Structure formats: C-alpha cells, structure tokens
Structure 1
Amino acid sequence: MTAETPTKMASEAASGAALDVWQSCLEQLALELPEQQYQTWIKPLSARFADDCSKVTIFVANRFKLDWVRLQYGSRFAALMERLLGQPVQIELALSARDGGAAGGVAGGSGGSQGTVEASPSSLSTHSSTRSHTSPSTNSFPVARDAAPSPFPFAAASLAPSITAASAASATSAPPKNRLNPALTFDALIEGSANRVARAAAMHVASMPGTMYNPLFIYGGVGLGKTHLMHAIGNRLLVEEHRAKILYIHAEQFVTDVVKAYQRKAFDEFKEFYHSLDLLLIDDVQFFANKDRTQEEFFNAFEALLAKKSHIVMTSDTYPKGLTDIHERLVSRFDSGLTVAIEPPELEMRVAILLNKAQAEGIPLSEEVAFFVAKNVRSNVRELEGALRKVLAYARFNLKEISIPTAKDALRDLLSIQNRQISVEYIQKTVADYYKIKVADMYSKKRPANIARPRQIAMYLSKELTQKSLPEIGEIFGGRDHTTVLHAVRKVSAERQTSAELNQQLHVLEQTLKG
C-alpha cells in the first residue's frame, strides 16, 4: 500500500498538469483562430501525454482531418506546448479508435508510449476509446416519419466538415441527423429589444409549424443570433415531435447538393429528399445570387414544402427586397410570410450576454467588467463573446484577477483600433460620402431634407459608436444643443425598427465604419 501511494499521487499530478497544458493550449488557439475554424478543427481533438511530457499524441476523428490538422496546426501545437512546458515536445497525430485506428496508434510515427496520461477534459469534445461496431451508413440526413432512409445517394458525402466520418459510422443506431446544435435553444438566447420580435415569431413557428408566418425570413448583420434562432426552432419542435423530419443547412450546401444532383443525374432523389422535409432551416440565402439552377430547384422545393404545409425558415444579411441577383419570383415568396429583423444588441443586452456566458463557464465576472467590455464591443454577439474569451484567457495566462485594468490590457488592440477609426468626424465624413452631400453640411444650419436626414443619421451613429456625450456630439455638429442630438437619436432608432430600407442603410454604414 505504501509503495503504491507515491506512484498514484505522481500519476494524478501528471494527469492534472497535462490537463492544464492541453486546456491552455486550446484556449490560446481559440483566441488566434476564427470561431468556425476552432469549432471544426481544434475543439473535437483529444490528447495523450507521456509521463515526462516529452511526447504528446493528438487524436483526430478521421484521416482527412488528420492530414489537415498536421499540415495546418501541427507546428503551432508544438510551439505552444514547448512554451507551456518549458521543454521540447514531440507531437504525433493518431486516429481515434472509432475511425478504425488503434487507440494508441500514431499516424506517421511509432506506437504510443507506455505510461501515458489522457488530457480529455469533460468540457471538451473528445472521442471514445472503444471501437464502434455499427456498420457505416451512407445516409446522414433525417429520416421521414415511419419511413425508410432517404434514397438520396450523396447525402452523407455532402455533409459539412463538422459532421465527421466517425459520426456517420454510427448513423444506423443514432437518431436521424438534422444538423441541429442542441445547445442553441430559446432558453440559451438572451432576449432584448434587438431580438424580441424575431424571438417571439420563432417561438410561434416552433409551437405551431406550418400555420402562420410561413415562410419566416430573419435578417440582420453577422453574429447577431439569426442562426441561433433557427436551431432553437428546430430543437423546440423536436421536443414536441421527435420524429419530425428537420434539416438545418447553409445555402452554400444546398448549392453543392444541386451541383452533385446535376453531375450524377440524380434530381429525382434530390427532390424526393428535400420535398419530404417537415421543417427546412436554411441559412444565408443571399448565397443563391447568380446561381440560376439552384434558384430554380429551391423555388420548386419551396412550393412543394408550402403545399404540404411544411415550414420554411430562412436567414439573410438583408431584407428580401434588398437581395441582389435573385429571381423576382423567389424574392416575392421570401416576403410572403413574415419578415423580421435582428438588430445589434443594446448595452443592457450585451451586459446580460456577458454575465450569462461567464456564469455558464463557471467563471466569476463582475458587472463592472461586463459593462466595460459591453461598452467597447458593440457590433455583434459573436465579437462580444470573443472579447470575453480574450479577457478570461489573458487573466488565466497571466495569473491576474478579472478586473477592468486586466480587461483593458487584454483588449488593448481592439480598443486601439476603435479609438483610431471611429470618431464623430470619421462618422460625419462616411455618412456624407454615402448620401453624397458635403461634410460641411453636417455642421451647417441648412435644413433641407436631403441634408437634415443624413445629419440625423450621423448623430445617431455617433451616439451608438463613440463614447461621446450628447453635448459633445452636438458641439461637433455645429454647436447644436444636446436636445437636438437626443431627438435625432430617438427618431432614427424608432424608424429603424419599422423601415427595412433605413435599417439596411444603417447596417451598411455600420459595417463600413467598423472596417
């Protein structure tokens, strides 16, 4: 007993150290990489460390991912681990067991060493060490109610990279693949004035599909929660009707499926699959622009689904009539149900999002720090959460308390860019250029509509995108009183809620100003 105790303690210590190193490595890569890249290629990985940490075996789901991770991220993993461990580290990549490789096997190297410790924290997506005995399935799309699997021949091949070959191997015993993210629910979505109408409409669709608001068209800028709402609709419907045939898909994937159907002369199978859905959730329909055959097939699917009272939910970066190079008959159908906008979140909503995210990760975050981050990151939810991750990781790496000075240090690059680019003067010039008036008109006493309107919009954007007070903004606009600025801000804000055209103009201006 006494001889085994030190060994056990050493093993537990080594396991804990490996876990910390792996977690730190992932957090650093989460800061460096775009969200989608990180979620697709890095987060699903697991690792095994040798006792002396001289070698790390990283397990990958399939051979395609193995080659890609080794080529794109292998050297970065080595550099990060060498810095974290303070010693040279040999990085090897291996297939996880369910893809057919041995659990300890290493691709392109020798076998795994004995006496290793696993670094697979429960909060990370890791692969099972047991081999799957189910036979591969060629169909990873949903299965219709009480029906055989779809004969659509290229369904599995057309899945996005996030659906791995390993997951397809167990498709015969797993629930039908609908590509929904179960974490994206209505409960997980913070509600505010920016998304209240869209959220209410989405909940109505989820509870009574095929009745009102069909189709539902949600539009807004990137990272505002359009995709979250679509997944929430699908997840809520599955609770009520677990055999409903639901598919979430990006518009580009639909384009890919049309191309494959054309190449393989398989349009009958294509139509049989898509026309049989109970709920189609399709993201970013603006990608259909200039793709005539795709638009034709989507029009056919659209008509077939509405005829059988299936529901269609779409998202776009602009309102239907703002779409370019889309057939008029499609645009008219997009606009025939309910069209709702999601706006950038207001300050209180941004603070709530930050506090909720930190609480979900079990990390204490004061309201003061949340307000500081929220006041400086205004564009969208995705960038807001990215800023929070930077603050948390910076505090962890530097062993600092999460405070406003720590947040300032962590976000200094972001704050520097904002302070350099977005000023009231820069907003005046950008708005003047957009509406083709002179910059001098911004602070002149002229009041014709073609000048007064852009001036009010510039005042609104100055309040939204800078830290200037109302009196300071009024002074820059030709010495105007702060009540004039307040009137402009309230007027433009109210009209933005009801005018799709104004909302689109403001969206373009905001994206231009933020670079």
Structure 2
Amino acid sequence: MAPNFSPDAVWAQCCEKLRAELPEQQYNTWIRPLPPADVQRDGDTTVLNVRVPNRFILDWIRTQYSTRLEAILASVSDGPVRLDISMAARPAMARPAAPSMMPPNAQGPHSLGTMGTALPPNALAARASGNYQGGINPLPPSAGPHTVVLSEQGEHPHNVVGLHGGQRRNGHPQVMGLNPGLTFDNLVPGRANQMARTAALHVAGAPGHMYNPLFIYGGVGLGKTHLMNAVGNALLADKPDARILYLHAEQFISDVVKNYQRKTFDELKAKYHSLDLLLIDDVQFFAGKDRTQEEFFNAFEALLAKKAHIIMTSDTYPKGLANIDERLTSRFDAGLTVAIEPPELEMRVAILIKKADQEGIAMPEDVAFFVAKNVRANVRELEGALRKVLAFARFSHKEITITLAREALKDLLSIQNRQISVENIQKTVADFYKIKVADMYSKKRPASIARPRQIAMYLAKELTQKSLPEIGELFGGRDHTTVLHAVRKIGGERAKDTELNQQLHVLEQTLKG
C-alpha cells in the first residue's frame, strides 16, 4: 500500500466512476446515499467498511453492483483492498425510530432472521406470494472472486367510498377504499416489478417493522395501485381488525379543504392518525399545497410513531418531486424507495395469458406475443387491447388467431403506423440523447453517437414495417447486417438493463403520442 494511500479518496473515486457509468436515477437511489467507508487493517490488506441501513439494500447492492465495485476498487487502489459492506447498527432513539431503520433483532417476531429470511406470520402471506420462498433476494449472488464481502448484520379507485366488509370502529371506517380484487395472487411477477413486489411481500408479512415508509414510483398503468391494494388485502386477511385506508392523494387534499372550511381538524386527525396501514396513491398531487403537506406531515409522523405502516406511490422518486417540502421528501426517502419498470415482452405475454384465463378463455401464445409486441405502453393499455380481441372473438364467433387479433386492433395498429416513421424515430432519439439528427446518417463511431444510432435502428425495426435493408438505407446507406446487429444487441440488452428498458419505454410512448 502506498504511503499516501487515502481510503476516503479511493472510495470517492469508486463512487465517481460509478456515477459516470450509471444512469442518474440508479446512482441517486443506491450509491449516493452510501456513507463514507470506515477503515481497518487486516494484515497487508486495507478493509473499507461500508454500512447500509437495511438488508434489502444490502442484497440489492450485492446482486447488482458487487462485481463492478470489485473491479473499480482494484483499478483505483495502489495495494490490496477489500470492500466489506454490511448492515449498520442502529443506536437507541429517544423517540421511536422509523421501523425500517431498526436492527433486525428489534423488529419483532416476523422480522428478518440471521440469514435474511422474513417469515410470513401465517400461511396467507406465503400463499399470496405465489412462488415466493421466504428469502428477500430471489436473485443468485454474483459469482467471481470475493473481493467484495457482504456481511450478515388497476386504476385509481380514489372515488371508492364504500367499506370493505362494512366494518367500523369508533364511528370511523375500519377498512375503506381497498379493492378486494387486487391481490398478490393475480399480480403477474416479472423483472419489471421484482423489487417492488418483494418489498411489498415483506411489508405484508411484517407491517410496521420493515421498509417504512415504502415508496413505489413509476409511470401510469404499471401496477403501483395493484401492489398497494395487495398489501392491504393480505394484511386484512391476516388481521381482520386492522384499520386500513386506501385513497388517492386528491381525496386527502379534499379532506383537508373540507376540514379547513369547517375548522374540524380533530376529525381529520381521528381519521388518519389511528390507522394501522395507510395506502396513498400519487403523492405528487400534493405539489404546491402547503396546508395539505402540513397535515400529511403530521399524519405521517403520528403513524410512524405508533409503528403503523405507510405505502405511497408517485410518478417519480422522492427527490424528483417538485414543490414538495423537503422535510416530507426526506421522510419519503427514509424507508425504502423502489421503482416499477415498464413490463418486458415476456411479462406482457404472461399478463395477457393470465388475464384471458381469468375470463375463462385460452389465449394462444403466438397471439399473446403479437399483441404484446404491438402494445408496449403499460399494463392498462395491454388489458384494453386484450378486451378488444376477446370481444371481437365473441361477436364474430371465431377462434382467437393472429389474423383475428390484427383485425380487432386494426385501428390501434394503423394509428401507430401512420404516426411513426424512421425519420421521426431518428429525430426523437437524437433529441433524447442530445445529439444531432445528422449523426444518425454519419460515419462517426464514438459511443455517444453509435449507441443512440443503434437504439434508433432497433426502434425503427420494432415500430415500423420497414425491412432491414430499407432501414439501413435511411441510416446513411448502411448494410442490413449492421441494422440486424443493432436490433439484436439492443433487444438483448433491454432484457437485462433496467435503465435501458425504461429509456426505450419513454421513447416508445413519445413516438406513439
């Protein structure tokens, strides 16, 4: 080890290199919050100890970033260095801490055990999880040399005002707004919702103890509301006397306005501060509403103090919320923040087959693939396309085939084909990646240009009826094999790279209007 070796400098270099490589959202979610490393000596090896607040983050960093951290650490250090990432011990707090920040042995009988397995309180949670086997991390640990050691330590039903089961307590709804049809059983699992689903299962198994608050963000129609209701329904089945409220943020705003006009804020507190589980959709609607934010902050603090659980959704991550008080966004970020991504092709196919099965109809796999390839925006639009195909089959008394599906969806397909041209794709992609449209036709090959060009070729093949040679000609007279390589490369990476999948989803939605 060089005499002027600075562990802080090495760790800072590691983080800076990752910052340059990772999408900003990933870096801000997983790497930026990590504290500076503490230093120990193990013979000739310097050990950099990095502590994380909970096991979910520990396991996610292990599966997603350990290999890259190992390689960067080796490249920036002058001698043998080992990175040891482990759970941070939590000091006792005078005021009850947010449960997600407590050490495992303080989290009650259903918390994580020494090997990171959360035991559901009864068979319900296990059944609700589908193929869930109890471990928090369904992915295998990364292979390779152990230079990095990780230690043990549906739509918004906001207008629903009826009661689930009609239960009441002290004159207030005990359970309100839950949609009983949204459960873990009928939520199709996939890579797009893997993190959020796993976290939700743990919350359902040990509410008030882990990942509190749970903040789920993503685009419209991706299953955020479904996931929240699944947690509420699982808890209700396990604890029938639980006080649960699901609502849209607009309903909370309406309640604040109504109680402000009547000067009856005690009623507002009685409704929200006594809950065991609060599920609130689209908190970005609180933007610019100071009194609403004040009342939600009060409810938030009261619920955390009594170890009630809070699950929220938004269209962006906490730090990205505009016109929301920082003391709120910092609390949103204090538990666990997870994203739901646009579903990949295989997941869209699984959703179609399962939804059709629920209607008592067998959906041929080739038809499911045809529909899934042409409807990419979100699950809600996918379900709408399925309803059109099923209705068309019933009315025409025909079998479900690709020909029938093409006929049923001809309006959708014709709109897409009219709106999307290769030229429009090139301009949209160039704007998105901040390069010149002319770079799409040029012979320049730096990564900053070649990568967007490949993405544009991929989208041209996916969203237009052009052949490979035709696409190649529109990209500066390139050979069809160049286009084929780009299509296969981007298609393969999309299945593995969450951020690329998200970018492609945004581009597709932009192009489809």
- Same fold, TM-score > 0.5, yes or no: yes
Aligned to 1:194: 192
Once the two structures are superposed, the pairs formed by residues 318-357 of structure 1 within 5 Å of their partners are 318-357=316-355
AA matched with 2:187: L
**1:369 and 1:186, CA in 2 relative to 1: closer, same or farther beyond 3 A?**
same
Hey, what's the Cα distance between the residues in 1 that align with 2:498 and 2:469?
A: 23
- Give the secondary structure class of the aligned counterpart of 1:235: helix
Q: CA deviation at 1:349?
A: 1.3
Aligned to 2:429: 431
Q: CA deviation at 1:459?
A: 5.0
Q: CA deviation at 1:467?
A: 6.8
Aligned to 1:184: 182
Alignment equivalent of 1:496, drawn from 476, 498, 504: 498
The structure whose Rg is larger is 1
Q: CA deviation at 1:448?
A: 5.0
Instruction: Tell me if the contact between 2:279 and 2:310 (Cα under 8 Å) persists in the aligned partners.
Output: yes
- Give the secondary structure class of the aligned counterpart of 1:194: helix
Hey, what's the Cα distance between the residues in 2 that align with 1:328 and 1:394?
A: 51
Q: CA deviation at 1:319?
A: 1.7
Hey, what's the Cα distance between the residues in 1 that align with 2:164 and 2:352?
A: 35
**1:475 and 1:215, CA in 2 relative to 1: closer, same or farther beyond 3 A?**
farther
Provide Cα deviations, 1:354-408, integer angstroms capped at 9, x if missing partner.
1111111112322222222112111111111111111111222223222222211
- Give the secondary structure class of the aligned counterpart of 1:306: helix
Hey, what's the Cα distance between the residues in 2 that align with 1:446 and 1:506?
A: 23
Hey, what's the Cα distance between the residues in 2 that align with 1:294 and 1:256?
A: 9
Aligned to 2:360: 362
AA matched with 2:246: Y
AA matched with 1:496: T
Q: CA deviation at 1:260?
A: 0.7
AA matched with 1:321: K
Instruction: Tell me if the contact between 2:174 and 2:242 (Cα under 8 Å) persists in the aligned partners.
Output: no
Hey, what's the Cα distance between the residues in 2 that align with 1:233 and 1:426?
A: 42
Aligned to 2:209: 211
TM-score, length-normalised on structure 1? 0.62
Aligned to 1:111: none
Question: Could you say what the CA RMSD is over the residues aligned between the two structures, in angstroms?
Answer: 3.0
Once the two structures are superposed, the pairs formed by residues 409-420 of structure 1 within 5 Å of their partners are 409-420=407-418
Hey, what's the Cα distance between the residues in 1 that align with 2:227 and 2:302?
A: 24
Aligned to 1:265: 263
Instruction: Tell me if the contact between 2:175 and 2:242 (Cα under 8 Å) persists in the aligned partners.
Output: no
Alignment equivalent of 1:371, drawn from 358, 369, 375: 369
AA matched with 1:443: Y
AA matched with 1:366: P
- Give the secondary structure class of the aligned counterpart of 1:326: coil
Aligned to 2:226: 228
Comparing 174-183 with 193-202, greater Cα deviation is found at 174-183
Percent of aligned pairs sharing the same letter: 73
Hey, what's the Cα distance between the residues in 2 that align with 1:400 and 1:505?
A: 38
Comparing 465-474 with 191-200, greater Cα deviation is found at 465-474
**1:394 and 1:263, CA in 2 relative to 1: closer, same or farther beyond 3 A?**
same
- Give the secondary structure class of the aligned counterpart of 1:345: coil
AA matched with 1:297: E
Alignment equivalent of 2:304, drawn from 303, 306, 311: 306
Hey, what's the Cα distance between the residues in 1 that align with 2:165 and 2:175?
A: 12
Instruction: Tell me if the contact between 1:192 and 1:345 (Cα under 8 Å) persists in the aligned partners.
Output: yes
AA matched with 2:498: R
- Give the secondary structure class of the aligned counterpart of 2:191: coil
Hey, what's the Cα distance between the residues in 2 that align with 1:327 and 1:506?
A: 32
**Structure 2 unaligned blocks of 5 or more:** 1-156
AA matched with 1:278: D
**1:423 and 1:199, CA in 2 relative to 1: closer, same or farther beyond 3 A?**
farther
Aligned to 1:282: 280
Once the two structures are superposed, the pairs formed by residues 84-123 of structure 1 within 5 Å of their partners are none
Hey, what's the Cα distance between the residues in 2 that align with 1:432 and 1:425?
A: 11
Comparing 459-468 with 433-442, greater Cα deviation is found at 459-468
**1:392 and 1:487, CA in 2 relative to 1: closer, same or farther beyond 3 A?**
closer
Provide Cα deviations, 1:191-227, integer angstroms capped at 9, x if missing partner.
1111111111110111011122111111111111110
Q: CA deviation at 1:434?
A: 3.4
Hey, what's the Cα distance between the residues in 1 that align with 2:197 and 2:252?
A: 25
Q: CA deviation at 1:449?
A: 6.0
Q: CA deviation at 1:311?
A: 1.1
Instruction: Tell me if the contact between 1:224 and 1:344 (Cα under 8 Å) persists in the aligned partners.
Output: yes
Hey, what's the Cα distance between the residues in 1 that align with 2:391 and 2:262?
A: 48
- Give the secondary structure class of the aligned counterpart of 1:331: helix
Aligned to 2:444: 446
Comparing 417-426 with 456-465, greater Cα deviation is found at 456-465
Provide Cα deviations, 1:314-359, integer angstroms capped at 9, x if missing partner.
1111222222222222222222221111112112111111111111
**1:169 and 1:301, CA in 2 relative to 1: closer, same or farther beyond 3 A?**
closer
Q: CA deviation at 1:180?
A: 0.9
**1:397 and 1:512, CA in 2 relative to 1: closer, same or farther beyond 3 A?**
same
AA matched with 2:299: A
Aligned to 2:60: none
**1:398 and 1:447, CA in 2 relative to 1: closer, same or farther beyond 3 A?**
same
- Corresponding pairs, count: 351
Hey, what's the Cα distance between the residues in 1 that align with 2:383 and 2:403?
A: 19
